[in-house]
Amino acid sequence: MTEGEPIGCHDCGALHRWHALSDGQRARCTRCASVLYKWYATGPAPTPASMVAITLGAVLTYLIAQCFPIVELELNGLTSGVTLLQAVGVLWNERMEVIAAMVFFFAIAFPALELGALLYVSLGLLKGRLVPGFHLLLRVVQGARHWAMTEVLMVGILITAIKMTGLARVIPHPGLFAFAALTILGAVVLRYEPRALWTLGDRFMPPRPPVTLAADAHPLECRSCGLVNQDRPEGGHCCRCGAVLHHRVPNSITWTWALLAAATLLYVPANILPVMYTESIGGTEGDTITSGVLLFWNTGSPGLAIVIFVASVLVPVSKLVALAVLAGTAQWRSRWAPAGRTRVYRMVEFIGRWSMLDIFVVTLTVALVRFQALAVITAGPGALAFGCVVILTMIASALFDPRLIWDPIDNEAMSGAKHD
């Protein structure tokens, strides 16, 4: 970005002008208080060499994490250890293909896609050129980033390991440490804001005519690369990344309602049906989400009980309620507390992924507890329903256009971004 270039607020659609910030500063939208960008996005752009170094480190850590077992259980001389991919395979063979696919995409495929595309793009920049499909790849990085859940998986691994200490001796393996390192490296890679990468790419492109932001120029913000386009028709293409431009996400409210209705229906079986079956000499026992929480609570792990309760009950229910309120008030063009509702939307976007925690815990538990003579744990249909609830609500919040909250309120005049 260059000084004075227009920038749209992702959450309310207000247009601002870009200004460089000093260390530690964040630019907030003057209308809805969303963070527009942080100081490190305004400093010197990351050099291609540093990008290649960090991304390459992350790719190698990713390979170690995926190729080595995460933890091993030892019980009466029997051992059982798995890599993440083997855990996915166990679920697949148990005919829980949907859960297996979810874990595969969120914990294996999307992180690989993000890191792979980032490495390829930055290697090209290091050689001083744009790789073919540069803009498409950056959009892949952005999309994959939204669905890659390494940090959620890491917490899931820790919970599973703590849970298993009551059953068997838990031996940590290289995969565990690699996932921990990958979580940290992931946070560093995240600092390569897509905006900084788009800006790096701009150096190789012919200069664009300046955006005037005159009302009759119909400025349209690209939801993909953030560029403010002008004189482009609704449904036209972004002049930088080629994404389709829309004034608002098409049929946003209808989609949100439809996905919410499906998620609410599935939430009932998700809570009634068992998420796990434990087969032991004493017979088969089914565990629902609630009974799992109670079990932790009663066996002296109130901390774990609270974490699982928050991730599996509190977060999904509050998400369903919050999205219904957002969709309803937007549909009836309510003018009530727009800044508060935007905050609720940001929270829904932020916490949504953490509901996958229980799915990761179920997967790892099922894959690890395979002591044929003593106990075998299998996944139940409740886990499938619950996984679908998480995905449906994540898509619903991605398709809800928060700018609809602000539409009934008159567009404020073009203003500068506030610093804090």
Binding residues for Zn ion (CB under 5 A): 9, 11-12, 14, 29, 31-32, 34, 222, 224-225, 227, 238, 240-241, 243
Residue closer to Zn ion by CB (options 11, 114) is: 11
Closer residue to Zn ion (CB): 198 or 360: 198
Minimum CB–partner distance for residue 283 and Zn ion (Å): 57
Shortest approach of Zn ion to residue 403 CB, angstroms? 9
145 or 240, CB closer to Zn ion? 240
The most distant pair of C-alpha atoms in the chain lies apart, rounded to whole Å, by: 77
Q: Which is nearer to Zn ion, 37 or 360 (CB)?
A: 37
Among the listed residues 189, 229, 234, the one whose alpha carbon sits nearest the alpha carbon of residue 212: 229
Task: Specify the residue for token string 């703590």.
Answer: 162
156/402 with CB nearer Zn ion: 402
State in angstroms the smallest separation of the CB of 238 from Zn ion.
Answer: 3
- Please, what is the angle between helix 150-164 and helix 302-309, to 10°? 150
Place of tokens 């800006």: 199
Nearer to Zn ion among residue 227 and residue 367 (C-beta): 227
- Which tokens in the block code for residue 192? 């390569």
Closest CB to Zn ion among residues 135, 353 = 135
Residue holding tokens 């009980």?
Answer: 305
Cα angle: 93, vertex 385, 168; to 5 degrees: 55
| 3-state secondary structure (DSSP) of residue 237 | strand
Strand partners, 277: 286, 378
Give the nearest distance from C-beta 17 to Zn ion in angstroms. Answer: 14
* Sign, Cα dihedral of 124, 128, 131, 133: positive
What is the Cα–Cα distance from 40 to 22, expressed in whole angstroms? 9
Rounded to 5°, angle at Cα 312 from 99 and 141: 55
Closest separation in Å from C-beta 48 to Zn ion: 21
Tell me the closest approach of the beta carbon of residue 229 to Zn ion, in angstroms.
Answer: 7
Cα–Cα dist 110/39, whole Å: 28
- Determine phi and psi for 277, rounding to 5 degrees: -115, 135
DSSP 8-class letter at 14:
-
Shortest distance (Å) from residue 190 CB to Zn ion: 20
Query: Which is nearer to Zn ion, 8 or 382 (by Cβ)?
Result: 8
Nearer to Zn ion, 30 or 278 (CB): 30
172 beta partners = 71
- Round to whole Å and give the CA distance between 380 and 335: 44
Q: Which is nearer to Zn ion, 302 or 340 (CB)?
A: 340
Residue 407 sits at φ, ψ, to 5 deg, of -60, -40
- Return the residue matching tokens 């933890």: 71
Q: Which bin fits 104, alpha (ψ -120 to 50), beta or left (φ > 0)?
A: alpha
Residue 56: Cβ-neighbour burial (10 angstroms; 0-12, 13-18, 19+): middle
Burial of 44 (0-12, 13-18, 19+ CB in 10 A): exposed
